[in-house]
């Protein structure tokens, strides 16, 4: 596994746990030579994980729409920073550059991004693992909603079961690495988008 796209908040959340967890994941990614692909901002958890990757000698690749350069305060110290026109271009480029995806705590943008990637997997547009870094049980209610969708017949159990959920960053990276190795086709079929 060479790269992971991390979707996370442009805010830090309440308390220090979220920020510390983002820094821990970033440090581990740098130590394991895993490239961070992320939203390109220097604020909130986005900035925290990018700074941790860079401080550890790793590579951080940002992808940010022009309309958010000022709002999310584009990070200026990245290995690469790509400024794109739309959110769709952002997600498409991130999908191309990443071997796997992680959702960290965040808001509507994070949920939009990770749900689109899950949907792309379901539709066969991509075949790349998806994980939830469940810091402080942040995603517990969302995961309950997915279970409810399974129970009500709207989500197939196999799609739910394919999601990796982990609170420990070392275990998270290990599970993602195993999942990437088990998949034979990790390309992106943009003709199906």
Range 72-76, long-range pairs (CB < 8 A, 24+ positions) = 72/10, 72/39, 72/40, 72/41, 72/42, 72/43, 72/46, 73/41, 73/42, 73/43, 73/47, 74/40, 74/41, 74/42, 75/40, 75/41, 75/42, 75/46, 75/47, 75/50, 76/42
Q: Domains of the chain (ranges plus CATH)?
A: 3-181 (3.40.50.450)
What pLDDT is attached to residue 191?
61
CB 149 within 8 A of CB 2: no
Quote the pTM value.
Answer: 0.93
Which sign, positive or negative, has the C-alpha torsion 99, 63, 110, 27? positive
What pLDDT is attached to residue 190?
58
What pLDDT is attached to residue 144?
98
CB 6 within 8 A of CB 42: no
Nearest CA to 27 among 3, 2, 54?
54
Q: What is the DSSP string of 117-174?
A: HHHHHHHTSB---EEEE-GGGTTHHHHHHHHHHHHTTSS-HHHHHT-EEESSHHHHHH
What pLDDT is attached to residue 188?
67
Residue ranges of the chain with per-residue pLDDT less than 70: 72, 184-193
189 — alpha (psi -120 to 50), left (phi > 0) or beta?
beta
Nearest CA to 66 among 90, 94, 36, 96?
90
Number of H helices, E strands in the chain: 7, 7
């Amino acid at each position: 596994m060479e790269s992971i796209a991390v979707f996370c908040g442009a805010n830090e959340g309440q308390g220090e746990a979220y920020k510390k967890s983002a820094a821990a994941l970033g440090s581990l990614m740098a130590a394991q030579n895993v490239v961070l692909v992320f939203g390109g901002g220097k604020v909130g958890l986005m900035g925290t994980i990018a700074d941790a990757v860079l401080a550890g000698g790793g590579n951080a690749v940002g992808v940010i729409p022009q309309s958010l350069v000022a709002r999310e305060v584009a990070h200026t110290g990245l290995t690469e920073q790509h400024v794109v026109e739309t959110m769709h271009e952002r997600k498409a480029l991130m999908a191309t550059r990443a071997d796997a995806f992680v959702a960290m705590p965040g808001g509507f943008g994070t949920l939009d991004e990770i749900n689109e990637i899950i949907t792309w997997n379901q539709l066969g547009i991509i075949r790349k693992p998806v994980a939830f870094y469940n810091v402080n049980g942040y995603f517990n209610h969302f995961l309950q909603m997915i279970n409810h969708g399974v129970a009500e017949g709207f989500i197939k159990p196999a799609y739910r079961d394919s999601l990796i959920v982990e609170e420990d960053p070392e275990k998270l990276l290990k599970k993602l690495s195993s999942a990437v190795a088990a998949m034979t086709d990790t390309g992106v079929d943009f003709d199906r988008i």
